[in-house]
Structure 1
Amino acid sequence: MDPAHDVVSAWTRIVHWLEEHAPAAARTLNPPATDAELGRLANALGRPLPGELEAWLRLNNGSTALDTRTPIPGGDRLDPHPDSRLLPGGEVFLDCASIAERHAQHLRIATDIGDEDWWPPAWIPVLAEADAHYGLLLDTGGRREGAAPVLFYSETDYAKVYAPSLGAVLTAVADMLEHGGGDSALTHGRYPSVQDGHLVWD
């Protein structure tokens, strides 16, 4: 199966469910990424975008539509909207600019600590906690035939294999939303509920 097709199919199911059952969460979704935004992201990453990631961003450019920024000394602070945390682990679907920003930040840290294995250039963050080094990435260097594997990363350990593809992650979430069941390994053992139009993972 085409990895991009798997992502489009699963994400379409997720968005349909959110629009019908959790409209507050659906409102956090940005419009599709433009060709210009995708081009800037590819330039920032220094490599072509994986087909599955480009397909996802062409549906929605992240779940950051309601996020705000607060000025602080030396810059500003991103304040994620609570409803932007669409995934079972509390992760935000990163937009093009956020992916580029985090990718550059992680590469700088790897250089600063002198450990290229901590974050190789081929790793692309796609889902992340808004205020912590924690989330899921696409390992484009690990692609063999078909999809790039998904790795889980955290502040306390090196990244490790999480799922065979982005499509597998999103399909598990879609199954859980639609049927209340699915692969708990990919949904953190949590179950979805809706409270006043807001998606909650218990």
Structure 2
Amino acid sequence: MSDDGVGQAGAEAVRAAWGRIDGWLRQWAPGSYARLAPPAEPGATAAAEAALRLRFPAELRASLGCHDGAGGEGVLPVKPPLSAAGIVRYWTRWMELTEEEREFGDPEEEGEPSWHPRWIPWAESDGDAQILDGREGPGFGRLGMKYHDEEGLFGDDAPSLAAYLTEVADVLENGGSVGGRVPYLAVSGVLWWAEAPAAPSGGR
């Protein structure tokens, strides 16, 4: 998919969101800010695209241009972002696991396949990854999940990477939750995310 105006707007939103996240972390959670890698070298991103044989969505290239992954949990509410090299490693591992499959998914079956070559992992831990849909069409660039023992999962309202990072920035600055997770600060100056407490039932 070419970098049209929509793609560029998404890339700008990613850079703006990371700028806000970085500023908040520097002030309130310097230990977590230290976990963020510097920007990826342009050659590293290009090499990752070549390895996957596809051009990354503009939003992912923008994110890698801000941080080439993170060294540990807690910076983001779901999974820590991968480096360009980490994207290649995770994608390659799943391609090897499915190399004997001649087709990715049965068109007669509902749901997503266990893996698709145009899924791009962008954040991962413990074998589970947030993925970006690199398939052409209306779902291009949507954010989903790939659990190591399940098929891929995209919700009906799966956000783009820009929407996800913007939501994280909004919650850090103004409070609230992201996907049912709320941020909190450890004494050590590290950010973590916990499941939001259930709302009390009525009657008391």
C-alpha distance in 1, partners of 2:88/2:191?
Answer: 27
1:99 paired residue number? 87
Superposition pairs for residues 2-41 of structure 1, below 5 Å? 2-41=9-48
Task: State the aligned residue count.
Answer: 176
1:114 Cα shift? 6.2
Name the CA distance, whole Å, in 2 between partners of 1:137 and 1:200: 21
Taking the aligned partners of 2:137 and 2:26, their CA distance within structure 1 comes to 33
Aligned CA RMSD, in angstroms, stands at: 1.9
> Where do residues 1-202 of structure 1 align in structure 2 (5 Å cutoff)?
2-64=9-71, 81=72, 84-89=73-78, 91-112=79-100, 116=104, 117-129=113-125, 131-132=126-127, 134-144=128-138, 148-162=141-155, 163-181=158-176, 184=177, 187-195=178-186, 196-202=188-194
CA distance in 2: counterparts of 1:143 and 1:177, whole angstroms = 32
Tell me which protein shows more helix as a share of its residues. 1
Long gaps (5+) in structure 2: 1-5, 105-112, 195-204
Identity fraction in percent: 32
Between the aligned partners of 1:191 and 1:61, the Cα distance in structure 2 is 25
Give TM-score, length-normalised by structure 2.
Answer: 0.79
Q: Please state whether the residue corresponding to 1:191 is helix, strand or coil.
A: strand
Structure possessing the higher radius of gyration over alpha carbons = 2
**TM-score using structure 1 length:** 0.79
1:62, distance to aligned residue in structure 2 (A): 0.8
| 1:9-65 alpha-carbon deviations (Å, 9 max, x no partner) | 21111111111110000001111111111121111111112111111101111113x
Whether the 8 Å contact between 2:56 and 2:134 is mirrored in structure 1 is no
Q: Give the unaligned 5+ runs of structure 1.
A: 65-80
Describe the shift of the 1:150–1:176 C-alpha distance in structure 2 as closer, same or farther (beyond 3 A).
same
What is the SS of the residue equivalent to 2:98? helix
CA distance in 2, matches of 1:21, 1:113: 48
Return the letter of the residue paired with 1:120. H
